């Protein structure tokens, strides 16, 4: 449990952000874009065999290592949305904001107001042959949770770009504050099998969102299966694109 005196203030600081109601926009791909979306499966597989994968993985790991003490502190904040947002900023923010976050966490004082950009990933990086968008997911191993995934229309729009690769970087924290990480893709068998599509609340202009099984994230970190099954991935994309009622 989080006993920090600034927890209430933090929650109030981001309350306005949490209450923003998104305006849905259904992405309707052209024939060329549709081909590019399906091609993203092989593109992702190619990325994980490339030097770009190792470069991105090393980059993220180094960023985590630089703020591992602060991540361990933030892991004990009860508000799951706030906890995830702080850890994301610790890893990806510019130096000035990162320094402020670090100071506030160490001194138990309120953080500055944090606004989240309405973007698909938390960290984007371009390579010669790939454009990556990475969503950072924190899994506190001693807490039960099923983290939210991505907006389906946004991920389809991103995958319709020729170099696009969508990734998930999982940060697992245990009771001893030990941190373990894993960079995987939306198509890796373990994650795809644990991805639930939720659209019963979505309006006409949205295909809905996804949610991950928390236990699967833990399994990916410690027992990663590098398999990407093309048929499974294609079936998932087809379900997202054409069979919206089946996604409920």
pLDDT single digits (tens) 211-229: 999 999 999 999 999 999 9
User: What's the predicted TM-score (pTM) here?
Assistant: 0.82
Whether residue 107 has pLDDT greater than 90: no
Q: How far, in Å, are 118, 153, 200, 241 from residue 23 at the CA level?
A: 11, 12, 16, 19
Average pLDDT over residues 41-54: 98
pLDDT score recorded for residue 118: 61
Whether residue 155 has pLDDT greater than 70: yes
- Please choose, from the candidates 83, 55, 85, 57, the residue with its C-alpha nearest in 3D space to the C-alpha of residue 184: 57
Whether residue 154 has pLDDT greater than 90: yes
pLDDT interval class at 168 (50, 70, 90): very high
Average pLDDT, the chain: 83
Instruction: Indicate the burial class of 243 (C-beta count within 10 angstroms; 0-12, 13-18, 19 or more).
Output: exposed
Whether residue 12 has pLDDT greater than 50: no
List Cβ neighbours of 98 (8 Å cut-off, separation of 6 or more).
Answer: 67, 89, 90
Upper half-sphere CA count for residue 190 (Cβ side, 13 Å)? 20
Q: Do 84 and 138 form a contact (C-beta atoms < 8 A)? A: yes
Q: End-to-end distance of the chain based on CA atoms, in angstroms? A: 34
Tokens, residue 151: 């907006």
pLDDT score recorded for residue 244: 45
- Please choose, from the candidates 17, 13, 16, the residue with its C-alpha nearest in 3D space to the C-alpha of residue 117: 17
Whether residue 45 has pLDDT greater than 90: yes
pLDDT score recorded for residue 220: 97
pLDDT score recorded for residue 178: 93
Average pLDDT over residues 62-70: 92
List Cβ neighbours of 147 (8 Å cut-off, separation of 6 or more).
Answer: 84, 137, 138, 139, 211, 212, 214, 217
CB atoms within 10 A of CB 39: 14
Which range, 29-43, 202-216, 231-245, has the best average confidence (pLDDT)? 29-43
Distance of alpha carbon 41 from alpha carbon 232, whole angstroms = 10
Which has more confidence, 25 or 247? Answer: 25
pLDDT score recorded for residue 25: 72
pLDDT score recorded for residue 85: 83
Average pLDDT over residues 32-58: 98
Distance of alpha carbon 99 from alpha carbon 115, whole angstroms = 17
Q: Do 137 and 169 form a contact (C-beta atoms < 8 A)? A: yes
pLDDT interval class at 243 (50, 70, 90): low
pLDDT score recorded for residue 77: 80
pLDDT interval class at 200 (50, 70, 90): low
């Amino acid at each position: 449990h989080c006993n920090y005196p600034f927890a209430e203030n933090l929650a109030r600081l981001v309350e306005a952000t949490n209450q923003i109601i998104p305006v849905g926009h259904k992405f309707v791909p052209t024939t060329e874009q549709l081909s590019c979306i399906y091609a993203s499966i092989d593109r992702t597989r190619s990325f994980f065999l490339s030097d770009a994968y190792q470069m991105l993985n090393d980059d993220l790991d180094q960023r985590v290592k630089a703020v591992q003490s602060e991540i361990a502190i933030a892991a004990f904040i009860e508000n799951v949305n706030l906890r995830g947002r702080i850890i994301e900023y610790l890893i990806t923010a510019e130096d000035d904001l990162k320094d402020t976050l670090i100071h506030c966490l160490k001194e138990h004082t309120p953080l500055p107001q944090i606004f989240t950009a309405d973007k698909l990933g938390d960290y984007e990086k371009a390579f010669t042959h790939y454009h990556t968008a990475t969503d950072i997911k924190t899994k506190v191993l001693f807490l039960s949770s099923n983290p939210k995934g991505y907006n389906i229309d946004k991920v389809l729009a991103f995958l319709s770009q020729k170099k696009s690769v969508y990734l998930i970087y999982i940060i697992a924290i245990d009771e001893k504050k030990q941190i373990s990480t894993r960079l995987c893709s939306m198509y890796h068998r373990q994650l795809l099998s644990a991805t639930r599509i939720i659209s019963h609340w979505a309006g006409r202009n949205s295909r809905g969102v996804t949610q991950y099984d928390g236990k699967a994230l833990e399994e990916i970190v410690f027992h990663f299966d590098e398999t990407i099954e093309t048929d499974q991935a294609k079936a998932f994309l087809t379900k997202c694109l054409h069979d919206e009622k089946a996604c409920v």
